[in-house]
Amino acid sequence: MAKRKILHYPDNRLRIVATPVINFNTELSTLIKDMFETMYAERGIGLAATQINEHIRVIVVDVSENADEKLHIVNPEIVEKKGRIESREGCLSVPQAIDFVERAEEIEVRGQDCNGRNISFSANGLLAICIQHEVDHLDGKLFVDYLSGLKRSRLKKKAAKLGLKESVAP
């Protein structure tokens, strides 16, 4: 297992749309382990493969208080959304921001586990918010995209001050 480097906004690689997982092999299991290790080390509650520069559709989540309820979803799909909820979000890839975003309150999720077995469940509250946030990452979307242009340009200035750049060598 290894802790991996997290990409930071406004890095363009966070905009790459991840491709579906086809091979459920040991490489995938290792990636999932690395993602959990990275997420826990950074005290996050969710991480998408995109954030560690792996552009395949995998997310890991743990919204429990004691960080002991691991959930990974391969090829996650949100097949139904119900209700609206205002959520206060942050992101390991955008450490300089916390803001309010509107999300669905309840979702139906489908996907697979690391062995390729189908899974489906419904989620609400923080778990639902977190899954929506992580699936957005797989589509190259960040929570700051939901904010106003003014807020985003302030963020970019902040990022520039921190030395974070928009375009980077692959």
Contacts of 31 (CB under 8 A, 6+ apart): 49, 54, 56, 58
Contact (CB, 8 A) for 87 and 76:
no
Half-sphere exposure of 158 (CA within 13 A, CB side): 12
DSSP state of 148: -
Six-digit token string for 30? 């290792």
Specify whether 134 is catalytic: yes
Q: Which amino acid is at 124?
A: N
Q: Which of 28, 91, 123, 164 binds Zn ion (CB under 5 A)?
A: 91
**Closer by beta carbon to Zn ion, 7 or else 28:** 7
For the CB of residue 29, give the shortest distance to Zn ion in the complex, in Å.
23
**Closer by beta carbon to Zn ion, 32 or else 91:** 91
* Pattern 123-162, Zn ion, x by CB under 5 A: ----------------------------------------
101 binds Zn ion (CB under 5 A): no
Contacts of 106 (CB under 8 A, 6+ apart): 81, 82, 83, 122, 123, 124, 128
Which of these, 54, 40, 155, 138, lies nearest to 95 by C-alpha position? Answer: 155
For the CB of residue 136, give the shortest distance to Zn ion in the complex, in Å.
8
**Closer by beta carbon to Zn ion, 39 or else 91:** 91
For the CB of residue 135, give the shortest distance to Zn ion in the complex, in Å.
11
Q: Which stretch binds Zn ion (CB under 5 A): 2-10, 74-82, 91-99, 145-153?
A: 91-99
Q: Which stretch binds Zn ion (CB under 5 A): 28-36, 75-83, 84-92, 114-122?
A: 84-92
Contact positions vs Zn ion (CB under 5 A): 91
Residues forming the active site: 134
